[in-house]
Structure 1
Amino acid sequence: MSTLNPQGASGSGAQIVGGGVGEGPGPDVMAAATLDGNKVMTSDGEHVGKISDIMLDVRTGRVAYAVLSEGGFLGMGSTLHAIPWNALTLDTAEKCFRVDIAAQRIKDDPGFDKDHWPSMADTAWGTQMHEYYNRQPYWSDAPLAIREGRDTRGV
C-alpha cells in the first residue's frame, strides 16, 4: 500500500522507511517535538548528532530544515547544521533519521552556533545548503505568489 506525499508529488518532504506504524499519529503526521533528540545517521553508518530543532517555512507551511546538533556537552559548545528536510529519511525501525551524505562531509561543513544562526529565509543561503546535500530546494515547486511573499488570501 502506498502513501500519498502531502507535500506534493515532487517528494519535497522527508522519506519514511521501516515498518513502524503505531497507534495514533505517525509516522506520516507527527508532532515536531517528538522528533527533537532523534539521532542522525550518515550514509557511512556514523552517528553524527541529534535533531535539536525543526524549522518551518511559515509562508508555505512546509518543513524547511532540521537542525542537527553535533558535539558539545549538554548542548553547550555544539556545532549546529541545517539539513534540508528533503535530505532526511525517517527510519521508523531504528528510530532515527538517515542522511545520504558521509559523516566527514557534515563535519567539514562549518555550521553555526546557537548565538549566530544563518538567515534561513535567504534563498541564496538556502540554495547553497540544498546543493551541499544534493537536493532540490523545497520552495522550487511552491506557487510563485508564495515564493515572492505575496498574500494570496482573498484574491
Structure 2
Amino acid sequence: MNEKTVLFVDDEDRILKTIERIVHRKPFKAIFAESGAAALKLLESQEVHVVVTDMRMPEMTGLQLLREVKDKYPHIVRVVLSGYTQITTLLTAINEGEIFRYVTKPWEKNEDLISVVMAALEHGEKAQAVQPVASGAPSGDATPPSGT
C-alpha cells in the first residue's frame, strides 16, 4: 500500500503543532497549511487523500475550502475539525462540502481524532476501489448485442 497523505488546515499554529505531535509515527504522511489558500497550493503539488480543516479561518473559510476541494478534487475525503458549532453552518458544510465526519475542537481524546482520520483514509480507499465499476467501465465481454 502506498503511503497516504492527510492535509490538516487550521489558522491557529498551536492547533497544527498539537496535531503534528498526535499524528507523529502514524501510518500516514501528515502535511499542514495555515490557510485555505496555502492548502489549495499544496493540493496542486501533492497527492492528498484526506483534508481535515477548521471552519473559522480568515480570508477563506473552511466551508469555502471544502467547496473548492469538492469541485477540483472530488476523490479527496473531507473532514471538519472545528470548535464552531453553529448548526446552519454545519448543515451547509455537510450538504455542500459533502464532509465525511465532523470532529469538535477540542476533541476528547487524541485517539478520537486519529480514528476519524484512519476511517477517512479507509473510506477513500473503498471509494477508489469501487470507482471503475461505478463509472460504467465495461467488464467482461465488450461485444455489443446483435440487433437480429
TM superposition score category, shorter chain reference: under 0.3
Give the structure-2-normalised TM-score: 0.28
Instruction: Report the structure number with the largest CA radius of gyration.
Output: 2
Please report the TM-score for the alignment, with normalisation by the length of structure 1. Answer: 0.27
More strand by share: 1
